[in-house]
Amino acid sequence: MSDQPHPQDRTRVLIPAERIQARIVELAREIRADLGDGPLTCIGVLKGSFIFMADLVRALDGPVRCEFLGVSSYHGGTRSTGVVRITEDLSHPIEGHHCLLVEDIVDTGLTLDYLRHFLEGRKPASVHTVCLLDKPGRREVEVAPDYVGFTIPDEFVVGYGLDLGEFYRNLPYIAVYSP
């Protein structure tokens, strides 16, 4: 696989930008309705969630703190390796905080399951999870996000923060990638 997109690579829009933005506003309302209007620490899983998290925190009313975790399980390919490793840890303690783990996509479930346990070990008041995309057809562990933007079929997607070899993150929509 090349480090750069090939001119013959194709993408097909799966979820348009307008639908994504409308759903984020709905998710923010659902989250605040359930979790209240108190302080919330949003923890973005880098790199894929950064665009989703930026839009989500702007849509959330009330006090919001932002933290990030660097996590790797793909290493440039189109399938998860199944091995989750932390590449960047939180910069501040979360003990006693109400936390919202923000994921771009839940695929095998291994990363979400690992991170839930990882964060619970830091003794927060609560850990809830939100993902932009849920791909339940690829689950390897039984895990369900608390809030889901869209459920999608088992296709490799790019855009809106999701990448292939660090490319395509800048697309304003979610697209199915075809080499």
Q: Catalytic residue positions?
A: 107
Give the residue from 58, 64, 63 showing the smallest Cα distance to 24.
58
Give the residue from 58, 48, 55, 57 showing the smallest Cα distance to 21.
55
Place of tokens 């759903």: 23
Sheet holding 10-15, edge to edge: 10-15, 174-178, 157-158
DSSP output for 33-96: HHH-SS-EEEEEEETTTHHHHHHHHHH--S-EEEEEEEEES-TTSSS--S--EEEE--SS--TT
Place of tokens 């995309």: 133
